[in-house]
Structure 1
Amino acid sequence: MGEHGDDVRGAAERHVPVLLERCLELLAPALAEPGAVMVDCTLGMGGHTEGVLRRFPHVRVVGLDRDTQALELAGERLAPFGDRFTGVHAVYDEIRDVLADLGIPAVQGVLMDLGVSSLQLDEAERGFSYAKDAPLDMRMDATAGLTAADVLNTYDERDLVRVLRTYGEERFAPRIARSVVRARAVAPLARTGELVDLIRSSIPMAARQTGGHPAKRTFQALRIEVNGELEALQHALPESIEALAVGGRIVVEAYQSLEDRLVKHALAAGATTSAPPGLPVVPDTHQPYLRLVTRGAEEADEAELARNPRSQSVRLRAAERLRPTPDHLRTNRRTA
């Protein structure tokens, strides 16, 4: 659409893909397959997908995003690649249903760049940033679901504490929840600025001096709750591994410890024998079906940090499929 022209031209500048070269290097052996297909589970503004399409001229990419605005901008940016790119409005835990609809039985690559996208942070009215006053929304898919305001104004105090503790690892969760309940009794919370002020006043002065912006953990927690992010990731990891052909690779970039823990466990489970300890010979059905291709989690180096400050907290992990998943470990296909 013509009115997005400036957005599309600026997309490459607004979104510097995190660890792009390392992602391409890790995916390269799998994407060398003739007719290779990769799924970009978190398309965003299309930076990683553009890198793949340029580097591997024979590869087709299916890009998933729940954010219709991101899909539209990425679709325009990637239009020069023609039918080598297909954008789909979906949450990434629907990966196998999407591939089934497209008639693709298995793929050679899966890429996930988790967390909030540059587009969402930069669009002030979306309410993702504690640095800009905006409506308390935080939905990645602005067409459906609860907003952050709904969570803050309807959850009881105990549930608010649970959300802030579990998803934000916020030690002052009880104080913040109490302040929210007190404030909403006067008037419903509607703006991010109100919430930031409320958080500041709930946290002791000494604690506000360290650990970054005092609202950071609360905003993370609300975003995860609003978008069901950890639940979606928990389903998406086994679904994505099941979508991989033998020899295919999955690369995941996580930005906070809760996500990285889920990724670590999912990949480690596939890379470990499922046989009971002490068996003299491990049957084929219990052999590992993944091989880890990163040692632990890789982080951004100084050059990457200088180029892209948003890479500061990234933890990158990757694995390769060695064989089909044994029947007793295979996840049931999810249906929409």
Structure 2
Amino acid sequence: MLTSFGYASNDGIVVEPGIMSTRDYRDGALKVRYVRFLINVKNTNGARWQLIVRDADLRPVESITSAAVPPNGSLWTRRIYTEGMVTFHFTSSDPNSRLEIPTTVVMPEDSKRPYYSIQTQPAKFMDLYKEASSEKRIAGDHIGMLSAIWGSASWCCSAVAVTEDLVLTNWHCGGNEKILGNESGVWSQAICDRTIIDFSWDQDGTDREFACMEVVDMDPAADFALLRVAPIHRLDTLRPAKLRSQGPGVGEELRLIHHPACRPKNVTDGCRVGAVNVRSWRGALSSDFQYPCDSENGSSGAPLLDKNDQVVGIHHLGFEKMEDGTCDRLNKGVALPAILGAMKPTIADRIRKNNPLR
């Protein structure tokens, strides 16, 4: 299951030289946190141009120029914190220049249709930057919130940096049959092009966002996808998490740093491992391990860390119904050695070279 997070509006906006405003994004039932736009460069004919994005008070939020986007290229704007109008101020050396905005993503304060894989109410999610120790906060550098869109659907997962430009998440975070129409479209290049990983989703007003450039490797059975990413707006690089060569052991206590229900970074402690080497979700691998740790849709793809903040696996499943109709009340992760073993050897070797396993 994927937690719906906001919505995508396919308005098909055409921006001509001059000043134009969008519609009002306020919704009485939905507290909007921010909006962002996908800018397509079309019909600029090699002209020099500048697009200034302004908020509801006409303050400049972002400036995009022809030097930043190649002809026929595209670029996501940064977060625009407004519940009202957004204004595009477009100037060009060619008065016939046009930009297209095929997609607008509206992000709310909270997700929709949460699932809740929790042991007790309230959930034992701890706000990483308000309640956790400094050591845990620093460990959160490696984890980002992945958000993707397709048509009018928008959803979120978690992801972890494993090299300076490679991010690991779940295969099922690339969409599902209900959204895409068929399974073959999961993590297609089209989905990658519409995916952003935000490593500062932490209730601040800044962004540290990376765009998916290509899907380097993936495997449905092991439920992983490895994405090559690049910073969207400035020179930036990821600080990869430490990886462990061994999977988790029975009784080992782990922690989960994640984005439950698309919330800012949270940590769940006390994830004591139960069974290991459990058959995976598709029965193809004995790669899963179980734990009674609170999670939520949006937690998928998040790393499970040992006491030394080394990644031992990634979370991918919540509670499931058993054959007798009862709920197992267990969450499941895929062990990191199984993920690396399912990767193409050259790619796994690159990860090991860039991030020696401990």
Q: What TM bracket, shorter-length normalisation? A: under 0.3
Q: Which has the higher strand share?
A: 2
| TM-score in terms of structure 2 length | 0.24
Q: Which has the higher helix share?
A: 1
